[in-house]
Every structure is written in structure tokens, then in C-alpha cells.
Structure 1
Amino acid sequence: MMRAVLSSGSAGVVVADVPWPEPGHHQVLVRVSAAGVNPVDVDAGRTGPFDRVLGWEAAGVAEAVGEDVRGVRVGDAVMGWTYWFSSGRGCQAQYCVLDASEVSAAPRQVDAAQAATVPLNGSTAWQALLELGVQPGESLLVMGAAGSIGGFAIDLAVGKGCEVWGVAAARDADFVGARGAHFVDRADALRGGGALPSGGVDAVLATAPVDEAWQTAVRPDGRFLSTVGQTLPRTACGFLNAHPDAGQLGELAQVVDSGELRTRVAQRYPLADAVVAYADAAAPAVRGRLVLTP
């Protein structure tokens, strides 16, 4: 048996003993060194499905590798993420199983806790920019710029040569500016942080719910993409449902190692303190990712 974090309804989460996972031919058994705690984990802990191992993302060491897996060997440092609510095999445990398509080599220049913050939110930011089709020299407005997805999106877009504006609370102005973006004060709407390009930006990425008024920030022929499932009345508004991709995870690891993608670990907790970590993760003031270390 191993220790794992389980969803438990009104109580949120519990740490309990569960059977060790067994990897299939196309899977990797990971000895978890660190697992991220995301806001979606907090919601799932309360609303279910219940008695499932929680956790979307982790970093650790490949303990066993299925015979059909290529590119990962026993002993490799790896990171990955999975749709735990459909597979029932989350990452917040001493061991987790990931499909070969969900796992890649971990970054070499950061520790496991930092690497564990990359797979879910880094993949979402990466795929959002691909979906928006942003090109070097284009302008991008990121809503929720101080969040994990928003911060990664700024890093990646600036690295591509885009001019980026980041919308966040006033206290996050330094964070947004340090990442190479123009700060826009959320409370002051479009009047804060300097003027946007005349006629609007080429693309908007909404990683937080937005008011319809923000649609005026994008050019009439521009692109508007949401990662939060929000419907807005414009033809060019899309919704991104990110998916694990081993190739993209490998590229993200390289971008982390280059220093272009910067991780933020707000606090680390032993797995036994998962209840405390989940309570802290529910606080709106959290900046950076909380991480469990089994």
C-alpha cells in the first residue's frame, strides 16, 4: 500500500492508504518527488468524483517502464500530467502511473518541486498560444497575468518575440513587468498600465473570467481565446481544453532549462499535510503554486 490524497466531499481531502498502481505496456510508474496542487484540485476534492486519487501533475523518477514505452528509462527524472478524473489515477501520491503520451524528461536546471508546477499550466499556456497562432511581432493581451497559466503564457509569448500586455491586480505589477510585459491594472480596466495598441491587440488570452467589455481590446479581425470555459458573444472567441502531449512537455522542459520559462513555488508541504495545503490553495491571495512532496 502507499499513501495518497483522496477526494472526500464536504471534508475536502483525506490522506489514506491505497494500492500501488500497476503500469501497463504503454505506461510509466513514477516515484513521485513532488505533485502540484491546483485550484481545480481544490474544487474536485469537494465536489467529486469521490475516493479518487487527486492531482493533475507531478515530477519524480521513473520506477518502472512498460515494454511499449520509448524515450523513458528506469531511473530517469520525469514530469507529466493526466486527466485523473477519467482515469482515476491522480498524481498526489507516493507513486503514480502515467501514459507514455503524458510524460517526458524533467528539466535539469530546477528541482522536482519546481518541475512539478510546469506540466498542466505550462501545457495549457503552450497550447493556447498555438491555438491563437501568435507570431513574432504581434501583440497579445493576457488576462489573469499573475496566475500560473498567465505567467507562463507571458514568458512563452515574450520568448516568441510578441509584445505582451498583462492584466492583473495592482500588487502584481512588478511580477508582470519583470516578465517583460506591459502591466494593465485590472481595477482600472483598459486605462491602467499604459495604452494598448491603436485599434486593439492581435490576440487576447483570457485565463480568468472576463467582462464582455474586454472584447474591445482585440482588433475586429483578432483572436480571443479562453481557458476557463467562458462563452462570449463574438465569432473569434474560442475555448481551449488542453491535453497532455509528451512532445510538448519535452519542449517545455527545454524552455525551463533555458531560463525562458520561470517557475514559481509558493510553498512546499509533506504529503501528510495535504489538508493544510488544500486549505491554503483555496485562498485567493496565493501567488505561485503549492506543491506536495511525498
Structure 2
Amino acid sequence: MRAVTVRTFGAPETIELADLPLPQPGPGELRIRTLATGVHPADLAVRSGAVAQYLPPQPFYPLGWDLAGEVDAVGADVTGFRPGDRVIGLSHWFATRNGVQAEYAVLAATAVAPAPAGVPTAVAAALPLNGLAALQAVEATGLTRGQTLLVTGAAGNLGGLVIQLAAARGLQVIALARPEDHAFVTRYGARHTDAVTPAEADAVIDTALLGAAVLPALRDGAAFVAVRPGPPIVERGIRHTVVDVRPDGAQLADLAAMVAAGRLTVRVAAEHPFTEAAKAHARLEEGGLRGAVVLAF
């Protein structure tokens, strides 16, 4: 099978298509024929070498975190899935280095859910990583209905999912975004702002990586939820949490049901054939996207 890999760190052109053995599912696992996969900043960080110091040496690194596809084979002890089922799933790449940007991928059945019905494959593929990260970030705030959540980078791919999921839980959402994104963030029930107001939020989910710059917006004892590791926030009783997204088939099934019902919008900004993975990386690196970049298989 062919897979998107990195052997030498560097520019997008260093990406290689490698021929790898067909993976075999073990107990509790599924083999999935890939139809589409997301391309994420984490993929760019691996390919560029930005996180090379954290990676164990190996001849090459297969890329890819999430996918939409069709069950091809099931391992022992798997219930609830059978060959031919359309599914979506997540591989925690930094924990396993099990890249799913390949014609076939093996995932634990517990990391997989039925694909949302009635939506394009590219949309389904764009859901797992960012959808689970958004949901788990909202949960990490500990907020309850009526409390106020500030979301930075609210019009971005992850931020847009956060504001939708937070509003669905009855939170008062303040969306920090550019003026040109006003229509998007308000469509989903958020209040738009392009500047921080002091002490107005019970929590922040910092998808824009602004860090300490948003602290004035938080009340004493508020929650600061980061989506990447960074310096800890230690002041005014603020609770600092870093979301390390975890595969969760049950949560993913709930998100897929929301997408299928039209209660959660997943945006796709660009779609490329997997043979043009380098172009997809280059486009994502340019920035300014308001949706996912997807590879079609």
C-alpha cells in the first residue's frame, strides 16, 4: 500500500509516497480502507522537523491523525463493526506514530465511530481530531450553563467547532476574531469581539496561542485551556490545563450524530489527492484558512 511519509525533515517537497506492507488488525482492532484524511498543523510540525527532538529515531515517519474510510477487516473480539461499514477514527500520532495517511490503516475499534450520514467524505474526515479536541477542551473548562467562555481564534477550524459545541451547552460564548469573521462567529450564537475586555470570562480556550495576552480577560479562579503545551499560568488562582486530545469512539459517535443532524458544521477549505500531499502542506502553511485541508484517497 502507499502511504504519505517523511524521511528527511524540511520543506513540503520532502514528503515521500512510500510502499508499505498491508497492516494486519490485531485483537480489538479494525483495518480501514482510507477514503480521506485530514492534514493538520501537527503533521507540518513533524515534516518540518519542528518537533524532531521529541521523536524517537526511525527510518521514516508515516503521517496522519484522522480519517474517514470503510472497514476492510476486523480483528478478534471486535463487535459493532463489520467489513463495508463507513467509519471515522483518530490515531494519537505522538503516542503511537501510527500514521493514517495511507491507503489502509489499523485503529483500535474504541477509537472509531460510524461516519456521519449524508455528508461528503471530506467533511467526515475533517471531524475526528478537531472535533474531539474541541469537545474535550470545552469539557476541560468545567463551565456550566450560563457561564462565560472566551474563545481565541474563534473563526479558525478548531475555534469554530469550539464555539458551536460551547453554545450548544448553554455557555455564553465570546468569540475573539477579526472583524471580517463577525458573520461567521455570530451565526453560531457567539458574541464577537476583536479586543479583550477585562475580567469578563470564566474560562478561555486559547486556540490562537495568545497565551498570557488573554489573562486580563479572565476572572480570578478562571480556567485557561491551552491546545498546545506552553509556560504554566500561575496567578490569581487560574487553573491551567493543556488539552492532549484522546481517541474516544463514543464521543466521536456523538459528534458524528450532531454533524448528520445539521447541529455541528465542519468546514473544508481545500481538498487534494493524497499524491499531492506536498501541495496540501504548502497550502496549510500559508495560513488564513477557515476550514480543514483534506487528502482524498
- Judge same fold: TM > 0.5, yes or no: yes
| C-alpha distance in 2 between matches for 1:268 and 1:119 | 16
Structure 1 position 15, deviation (Å): 1.6
* Aligned structure 1 segments of 4 or more residues deviating by more than 6 angstroms: none
- Structure 1 range deviating more: 53-62 or 4-13: 4-13
Residue number in structure 2 paired with 1:251? 254
2:127 aligned partner, one-letter code: V
What amino acid is aligned across from residue 65 of structure 1 in structure 2?
V
CA contact under 8 A between 2:35 and 2:121: conserved in structure 1? yes
Report the counterpart of residue 3 of structure 2 in structure 1. 4
Provide the rounded CA distance (Å) in 2 between the counterparts of 1:181 and 1:255. Answer: 18
Deviation at 1:283, TM superposition (A): 1.0
Amino acid at match of 1:30: I
**2:222: which partner in 1?**
222
* CA–CA separation in structure 2 for the residues paired with 1:6 and 1:39: 15
Cα contact 1:113–1:291 (8 A) shared by 2: yes
Query: How far does residue 211 in structure 1 lie from its aligned partner after superposition?
Result: 4.4
* Residue 98 of structure 1, CA deviation: 0.6
In the alignment, the residues of structure 1 paired with residue 145 and residue 270 of structure 2 have an alpha-carbon distance, to the nearest angstrom, of: 35
For residue 161 of structure 1, the aligned residue among 166, 170, 185 is 170
For structure 2, the 5+ residue unaligned runs are none
Of 103, 108, 120 in structure 1, the residue corresponding to residue 129 of structure 2 is 120
d(CA) in 1 for partners of 2:239, 2:106: 38
What is the aligned length? 284
Q: 2:82 aligns with which of 66, 73, 79?
A: 73
* Alignment correspondent of 1:193: none
Question: 2-side partners of 1:118 and 1:230: how far apart?
Answer: 25
Residues in 1 aligned to 2:96 and 2:221: alpha-carbon distance in whole angstroms: 40
Q: Determine the C-alpha separation between the residues in 2 that align with 1:149 and 1:227.
A: 10
- Say if 2:207 and 2:226, in contact at 8 Å, map to a contact too: yes
1:60 maps to 69
Mapped partners of 2:94, 2:170: distance in 1: 37
Q: Report the alpha carbon displacement of residue 216 of structure 1 after superposing the two structures with TM.
A: 1.7
Unaligned runs of 5+ in 1: 191-195
SS of match in other structure, 1:16: strand
**SS at structure 2 position matched to 1:273:** helix
Matches within 5 A, 1:17-96: 17-47=19-49, 48=52, 51-96=60-105
Stretch moving more, 118-127 or 104-113: 104-113
Mean Cα deviation higher: 34-43 or 83-92: 83-92
TM-score by length of 2: 0.90
- Overall identity of the aligned pairs, in %: 38
Equivalent in the alignment of 1:239 = 242
- The whole-number CA distance in structure 2 between the counterparts of 1:35 and 1:91 is 7
- Is the 1:53–1:84 contact (alpha carbons within 8 Å) kept by the matching residues of 2? no
Counterpart contact for 2:156–2:289, Cα < 8 Å: no
1:200 aligned partner: 200
Q: Distance in 2 between matches of 1:146 and 1:16?
A: 35
Give the alignment's TM-score, normalised by structure 1.
0.91
Letter in 2 for 1:41: D
How far has the Cα of 1:171 moved from its partner? 2.7
Quote how far apart the aligned CAs of 1:158 are: 0.9
**Change over 3 Å in CA distance of 1:211–1:64 after alignment to 2:** closer
* TM-aligned CA deviation for residue 109 of structure 1: 2.6
